[in-house]
Amino acid sequence: MDRDRILLTPGPLTTTLRTKLAMLKDWGSWDADFNAVTASLRSRLLDVVHGQQTHVVVPLQGSGTFSVEAAVATVVPHDGHVLVLDNGAYCKRAARLSQMMGRQVSVLAFGEDEAVSAAALDERLATSPGITHVILIHCETGTGVENPLVEVAAVCERHGKGLIVDAMSSFGALPIDARSVRFDALIAASGKCLEGVPGMGFVLLRQAILDSCAGRSQSLAMDLHDQHVYMGKTGQWRFTPPTHVVAALSEAVTQYVEEGGQPARLARYADNCRTLIDGMAALGFRPLLRAELQAPIIVTFHAPAHPAYDFRRFYEGAKARGFMLYPGKLTQVETFRV
Ligand SMILES: *Cc1c(COP(=O)(O)O)cnc(C)c1O
């Protein structure tokens, strides 16, 4: 192969040469030059969702799940009660990590091939006054469903509940407007739709709830309030930052803005998604989801019914031709994802 294989996976994904080249420099983690990269990156991440007036953004070392865990620990009080809107694998992960951190957790379950329902949430909140926070996965990467963020946020606001949004696989591609959609925390990461390399996440925290978050986290390393306060004072990360990952994400965001930001990225992904689904249909592959539920980010296909089909062989065949696929994440039906 004279070029890297193309990653048709939701992250890590194929990065541009410019993004790769941004990692060829070493940075001092305490140095003013690196602090300037962090500050500029934080500001531009807020711009993506128009959050300059309403939110702060706190970066955190680690994969995306670290930031989900940190957001729940920082935002939900120890005696809080979390309701998880569950239509897939990442929802179940959010419920599990909330429970493991000692928060009371309830689950409102939906089918994996449907979106979660704001009306069902409305009913549940009306009869369960003890719930303090709702967790929504914006795009459920396990299947590719887009969940109704705007409607869910409106229901949470009407009932006076906090909302935590895992926007890991949607941030930067699907529109999110912090000026009109109220959320307490929204989580994303470097290696998905912003097209950086994996290694850090970040959480947008609503300014109005920041003070109440002090001292809530039972974890030292995952305390986003402390990370925010320390960064405000020193411009530095509390513990060793993933310097090369930060530099690569900064360069990736520069290209994101040059491309035309969120509308341009959504248009490119939507175009790719249409090409993919149409081309696969011509080959006889059926997507799992009805078209109106499908986010243009990751598509789940049914495995072919042919008795000779074997995902490993299919995967190796595609890999030999330069493309990396993703296994399915459903328990009931055999699928794969692109
Ligand atoms: C990728 C992803 C995560 C984080 O997964 P990591 O493996 O920790 O990076 C969380 N939620 C969703 C919806 C995701 O797509």
* Ligand 1 binding pocket includes 166 (Cβ within 6 Å): yes
Ligand 1 close to Cβ of residue 217 (< 6 A): no
Calpha distance 170→197 (Å, rounded): 16
pLDDT of residue 33: 97
Ligand 1 pocket residue status of 67, Cβ below 6 Å: no
Cα–Cα distance, 210 to 52 (Å, whole number): 15
Residue 53 tokens, joined: 């007036």
Contact yes or no for 192/295 (Cβ under 8 A): no
Helix residue ranges per DSSP H, the chain: 17-21, 32-48, 64-75, 89-100, 118-127, 149-159, 207-210, 224-234, 243-259, 261-282, 311-320
The amino acid that residue 35 corresponds to is N
Please list the pLDDT of the chain residue by residue as tens digits (338 residues).
456 899 999 889 999 999 999 999 999 999 999 999 999 999 999 999 999 999 999 999 999 999 999 999 999 999 999 999 999 999 999 999 999 999 999 999 999 999 999 999 999 999 999 999 999 999 999 999 999 999 999 999 999 999 999 999 999 999 999 999 999 999 999 999 999 999 999 999 999 999 999 999 999 999 999 999 999 999 999 999 999 999 999 999 999 999 999 999 999 999 999 999 999 999 999 999 999 999 999 999 999 999 999 999 999 999 999 999 999 988 778 999 99
Three-class SS state of 23: coil
Please identify, by atom number, the ligand 1 atom nearest to the C-alpha of residue 201: 9
Which pLDDT does position 10 carry in this prediction? 87
Taking the model in full, what pTM does it have?
0.97
Largest CA-CA distance found in the chain, in angstroms, rounded: 62
Structure tokens at 281: 């249909």
Could you tell me how far CA 55 lies from the centroid of its own chain?
A: 17
Tell whether ligand 1 has an atom less than 6 A from the beta carbon of residue 168: yes
Residue 332's pLDDT is 79
In angstroms, the CA 270 to CA 251 distance is 23
* Nearest CA-CA partner of 168 in 65, 94, 54, 305: 65
C-alpha of 312 from chain center: 27
pLDDT at 330: 83
Residue with tokens 């595609």: 318
Q: Please tell me if the CB atom of residue 146 comes closer than 6 angstroms to any atom of ligand 1.
A: no
Cross-strand pairs, 201: 60, 189
